[in-house]
A and B are shown apart, each in its own frame.
Chain A
Amino acid sequence: MKKIMVVDNEPDIVDLTRTVLELGGYQVIPSYSGEECLRKLEKEKVDLVLLDIMMPGMSGWDVFNRIKKMSSGTKVAFMSVLEISEKRKKVLLEEGLADYIMKPFDKETLLKRVDDILKD
């Protein structure tokens, strides 16, 4: 079973995402801040990190850059309410980001996108 870490400072969103993903057959490790995420990643290897951007303390950007440096093969996708331009998105994908998922998401979309990321 593939492991996904969901990172958001809003517990309700973490719970919702976790519920949806578990329905899709994934194992979910919740995390409520950037710092917590990095701490947990040191101990546990996951396949994908779904990362909120705007969080108190470490932002999603910071966390993404730290995970990249770990070179552990862990994939990262942002989940955010922020709209970003196509250009910016392209740059991020080139930098190693797996996807950029807009919030609010609907169940089907989320599962499809995650399935696509972890397909191979």
Chain B
Amino acid sequence: MREEPEIVKILRKEEMLREKHENQEREKKFLSKSDTHDINHGECKEKGLKKNKGFDRKHIDLFETAVDPIIILDKNGLFIDINQQGIKLLGYSKEELVGKHFAEVGILTEESMNKTIENFAKRMNGENIPIYEIEVVSKNGEIIPAEINANAIYENGEIIGDLVILRDIRQRKNAEYMLRESEERYRTLFNNAADGIIILDIYGQIQSLNKRFEEETGYNLEELIGKEFVTSGLLDKENATKFSEYIKKLLSNTEIISFEIECINRDGKKIPYEVRAAPIKRGDKIVEIQAIFRDLRERRKVEEQLVRSEKKFRNIFDATSDLLLYVDIEGNVLDVNKTVLETLNLKKDEIIGKKFYELKDLFFPDHVKECFKDNCFKSMRKYEGELVTKWGMKRRFLFVNDFIHENGEIKCILIKGRDITEQQKAWEEIVKSEEKYRILAETSADGVFTTDVLGRLTYVNPALEKILGRRKSQILATLFRNYLSRESVYLFQQTFIEARRTGKKIENVELEVVHSDGYVIPIEVNVAPLKKDDRFVGIECTVRDITERKKVERELRKSEQLKTEFMNIAAHELKSPITPIKGYLELILSDKDASSRIKKWAKISLRNAKRLLRLVNDILDVSRLDTDTMRFNMEKIDPVELLNDVVEDMRPGAEKKNLQFIVEIPRDLPYVVGDKIRLSQVLKNLLINAIKFTENGYIAVRARSEEGYLLISVEDTGIGISRDEFKKIFTKFYQAYTGDDRRSEGAGLGLFICREIVKKHGGDILVESEVGKGSVFTVKLPV
């Protein structure tokens, strides 16, 4: 036979215990009234407690079914048992507590610890401890205020343990707190009220009054407390009677009443008050009367302010340029502002009461009327309408409905109408221009594209499709730089970043795209940043295929090269024959065997060969200037050095003619950028001319800097130039008339060449002269 399982044994035992317990019902009842008392008298035994985790059945039941949590400790303070309520309150299981000291399990707050230990010790010494409050801590950390009713457990007159009954007093604490708070709130309100308040007992004697009342009347609490209000001197006879009557009324129907009276303050001044008196009840009985005194002078002031503010509102209402109409929920006009009257040229009584959508000269779309007729105006917030002004002009208005609520219901509607005619026009212009722009872009011979902020294509026109050799569908949303030659990617990226950074348009950026067939197309792009609400959102780009231009440029360069080459050949061919002519003539002149007659002829030939050489050089220069093939090697030049060189070269020529040679060159002249050889050619030419046309007097070379220019002047005291010749001297082949003997030789190209060279440097040559007195030629060069 199988043995009964342990649990069944326990249940059988429990059953036996219950039977025993029922027999002792009377005793249990007694115990439940004063459980602590019984236990106090040692009806449980320590041994029994330990053995059965309880004591007698009756105690177990009592223990477990008690409303309050119960803890049993041994005389050392170790847990012996805790009931279900205790477990529920503290959140610990029995196993977690039994055998442990009450002070070590963390169920007490720091503040409660000492008190609990102290009281436990006292009880274990046989002292009776009245009910006290502590705070316990549940397992989940909640602090719970508890009332402790604890008693020592005796056995044979000896203390063997402690029985602790806890009562959760959270709710009570809460209620206490709330009451205190409410009282405080009332007290605060009472003291800080903007109105004077007095509390009277039912006999009309002053019980209390607040600060405000003291301030207003000039009497203080000590003076008035206990006095009958009506005879306190605050009221004259008439008002005292009135007050008494109202209070009587209040006491009879216990309703709140309000009335106006006049009080006399300490200074004898009469103050009008509105009094609101209310009974203070305890149960059903009126115990006191609270009377609130509101100074009517204040209210009157406020009323005045209200009127003023309404006037102000009316002014705003009328002054705004928007149309403002108050209508009821059926659309009947309640009020309108001046703008409406003026715009529609109507009088107020012609409008008030009429349906706003039926007003003369005001036109709304049909759905607006329908909405008001069908009472579904709530869905109408914005709508447009048209208005014909008194001048017969059609204006477009945007109307916005504002619903004015009262007690949660729409009471009326404020309709605001704003003239959007101009806005509309502008919008239409935008639409038109967008359309124009679109057509332009679509039909443009240049490629046009836009990108997003990352450079992905968001629009491409047909011309760009053609340049790239790819369809729109293939390339939209891809990066534009994917279609650039490797060399161009960096430049494009830089341009993109620059456009983004500066927000400005960048023009004429030369790039190369790679056509889908693999060939490279040179393009020129203009990049403009695209903005939306001031934020960079991408770029817009026009793309020009510059293949043709590049071809032309190449050809031009080639032709320039050819021209230059031609000029070089011409120079070579023209000068080469002169070299041996001149050379041999010089040899004849230095030959000791040559006769003097031969030498004379050779001398004439040499002079003419030299003249021919000069002419050839001049003609070559003119041709180079005309064909724009004169090469300038621009460099930074120290003008002092240049002038000194020129002056030293020319000095012998002047001295030969016994002319005074004046040189005034400051040491600190600014540098100029130019071709040293060509500029020196210019200055020499001017000096040669000066020497050539001057027989007496001086030649002066002066230099100075002035307003961003370097001015070099060559002055002579020669024959001079007449005013009408000023312009002519700079033309090709012009020769000055220098008398019948025509001593001057030359083709008349010198000054033309000089001026052209200076012009190529960004400067000019100026001339001042007087016939018979001399001339000043000034070379003006930018610094």
For the complex, what is the distance from the CA of A20 to the CA of B675, rounded to whole Å?
33
Report yes or no: B584 in contact with A16, Cβ–Cβ below 8 A. Answer: yes
A85-B675, A86-B635 given. 7 additional CB < 8 A pairs?
Answer: A12-B580, A13-B580, A15-B580, A54-B569, A85-B677, A103-B579, A105-B579
Per the bound structure, the CA–CA distance linking A82 and B403 in Å amounts to 95
CB-CB contacts of A64-98 with B at 8 A, as 1s and 0s? 00000000000000000111011110000000000
| Contact yes or no, B582 A106, CB < 8 A | yes
With a CB–CB cut-off of 8 A, which chain B residues contact A23? 587
Once bound together, how far apart are the Cα atoms of A81 and B576, in whole Å?
7
In the complex, the answer to whether B568 meets A16 with C-beta atoms within 8 Å is no
Quick check: is B571 within 8 A (CB to CB) of the other chain?
Answer: yes
> Could you say which residues of chain B place their CB within 8 Å of the CB of A116?
none
Please determine whether B587 and A88 come into contact, CB atoms closer than 8 angstroms.
Answer: no
A81 to B569, CA, bound (A): 10
| With A85-B677, A86-B676: A103-B575 Cβ-Cβ less than 8 Å | yes
Question: Separation in Å of the A79 CB from the closest CB of chain B?
Answer: 9
- Contact A13-B572, Cβ < 8 Å, known A86-B676, A88-B633: no
In the bound complex, how far is the Cα of B571 from the Cα of A26, in angstroms? Answer: 30
Chain B, residue nearest A16 (CB): B583
A39 at the interface (CB under 8 A from B): no
For residue B571, which residues in chain A have a CB less than 8 angstroms away from its CB? 81-82
Q: Are B633 and A104 in contact (CB under 8 A)?
A: no
Interchain CB contact under 8 A, B582 and A104: yes
Q: How many residues of B contact A (CB 8 A)?
A: 23
B590 interface residue per 8 A CB criterion: yes
**How far is B591's CA from A23's CA once the two chains are assembled, in angstroms?**
11
A45 proximal to B (CB < 8 A): no
Q: Which of A12-27 contact B (CB under 8 A)?
A: 12-13, 15-17, 19-20, 23
- Which residues on A sit within 8 Å (CB–CB) of B633? 85-88
CB within 8 Å of A: which B580-635 residues = 580, 582-584, 586-587, 590, 613, 631, 633, 635
B676: chain A residues within 8 A (beta carbon):
86
Tell me if A13 and B579 are in contact (CB < 8 A).
Answer: yes
A residues within 8 A CB of B677? Answer: 83, 85-86
Whether B578 sits at the interface, judged by CB under 8 Å, is yes
Asked if B578 and A104 make an inter-chain contact with CB atoms under 8 angstroms apart, the answer reads: yes
Question: Roughly how many angstroms separate A33 CA and B577 CA in the complex, as a whole number?
Answer: 18
Query: Contact at A81–B675, with CB atoms within 8 Å?
Result: no
- Flag B553-585 by CB within 8 Å of A: 1 or 0 each: 000000000000000110110011111101110
A12 to B579, CA, bound (A): 9
Chain A's nearest CB lies how many Å from the CB of B27? 132
Q: How close is B677's CB to chain A, nearest CB, in angstroms?
A: 7
Interface string of A92-120 (1 = CB under 8 A from B): 00000000000111110000000000000
> Looking across the interface, which residue of chain A has its beta carbon closest to that of B576?
A10
The residues of B with any CB-CB pair to A shorter than 8 Å are: 568-569, 571-572, 575-580, 582-584, 586-587, 590, 613, 631, 633, 635, 675-677
B95, chain A: closest CB distance, angstroms: 104
Q: Are B583 and A107 touching (Cβ within 8 A)?
A: yes
Query: Nearest chain-A residue to B571 (Cβ)?
Result: A81
Distance between Cα atoms of A106 and B576 in the complex (Å): 14
Tell me whether chain B's interface is mostly helix, strand or loop, or mixed. Answer: helix
Residue of B nearest to A108 (CB): B586
Closest chain-A Cβ to B203's Cβ sits at a distance in Å of 124
Chain A residues closer than 8 Å to B575, beta-carbon distance: 81, 103-104
Identify 25 residue pairs between A and B in the complex whose beta-carbon atoms are under 8 Å apart, listed by A's number.
A10-B576, A10-B580, A12-B577, A20-B587, A23-B587, A54-B568, A54-B569, A81-B572, A81-B576, A81-B579, A82-B568, A82-B571, A83-B677, A85-B631, A86-B676, A87-B635, A103-B576, A103-B579, A104-B575, A104-B582, A104-B583, A105-B583, A106-B583, A107-B586, A107-B590
Task: Report Cα–Cα, A15/B587, bound state, in Å.
Answer: 12
What count of chain A residues pass the 8 Å CB interface test? Answer: 22
Complex alpha-carbon distance, A107 and B675, angstroms? 29
Least distance between B618 CB and chain A CB atoms (Å): 13
| Residue in B568, B577, B583 whose beta carbon sits within 8 Å of that of A20 in the complex | B583
Q: Which residues of B contact A10 (CB under 8 A)?
A: 576, 579-580
Least CB distance, B101 to chain A, in whole angstroms: 105
The interface residues of chain B lying within 8 Å CB-to-CB of A106 are: 582-583, 586
Least CB distance, A104 to chain B, in whole angstroms: 4
Contacts of A105 in B (CB 8 A): 579, 583
Q: Which residues of B contact A85 (CB under 8 A)?
A: 631, 633, 675, 677
Bound state CA distance, A88 and B633, in angstroms? 9
- Residue of B579, B586, B587, B613 ringed by the most chain A CB atoms within 10 A: B579
- Residues of B near A81 (CB, < 8 A) are 571-572, 575-576, 579
**A107–B586 alpha-carbon span in the complex (Å):** 7
B631: chain A residues at CB < 8 Å are 85
Q: In whole angstroms, what is the CA distance A105 to B575 when docked?
A: 11
Nearest opposing residue in chain B for A102, CB measure:
B575
Q: Shortest beta-carbon distance, A106 to chain B, in Å?
A: 6
Which residues on the B side are within 8 Å of A54 (C-beta)?
568-569, 572
- Shortest Cβ gap from B168 to chain A (Å): 106
Residues of B within 8 A of A107 (CB): 583, 586-587, 590
Q: How far is the CA of A82 from the CA of B579 in the complex (A)?
A: 13
Closest to A83 in B: B677
Write out the residue numbers on chain A whose beta carbons fall within 8 Å of the beta carbon of B579: 10, 12-13, 16, 81, 103-105
Cross-chain contact A19 with B576 (CB below 8 angstroms): no
A67 and B586 CA atoms in complex are apart in Å by 32
Q: Report B-chain residues with C-beta under 8 Å of the C-beta of A12.
A: 577, 579-580
* Chain B residues within 8 Å of A83, by CB: 677
CB nearest to B590 among chain A residues:
A107
Kindly list chain A residues whose C-beta atoms are within 8 Å of the C-beta of B572. 54, 81-82
Residues of A contacting B582 in the complex (Cβ-Cβ under 8 angstroms): 104, 106
Interchain nearest-CB distance for B579 vs A (Å) = 4
A40 to B: closest C-beta gap in Å: 22
Q: How far is the CA of A87 from the CA of B633 in the complex (A)?
A: 8
- Chain A residues with CB below 8 A from B580, complex form: 10, 12-13, 15-16
Per-residue 0/1 for A33-58: is the Cβ within 8 Å of any B Cβ (1 yes, 0 no)?
00000000000000000000010000
CB distance from B533 to the nearest CB of A (A): 56
CB distance from B78 to the nearest CB of A (A): 110
Q: Which residues of chain B have C-beta atoms less than 8 A from A88's C-beta? A: 633
What 8 A-B pairs come out closest when comparing CB atoms? A85-B633, A104-B579, A81-B575, A12-B580, A16-B583, A16-B580, A103-B579, A104-B582
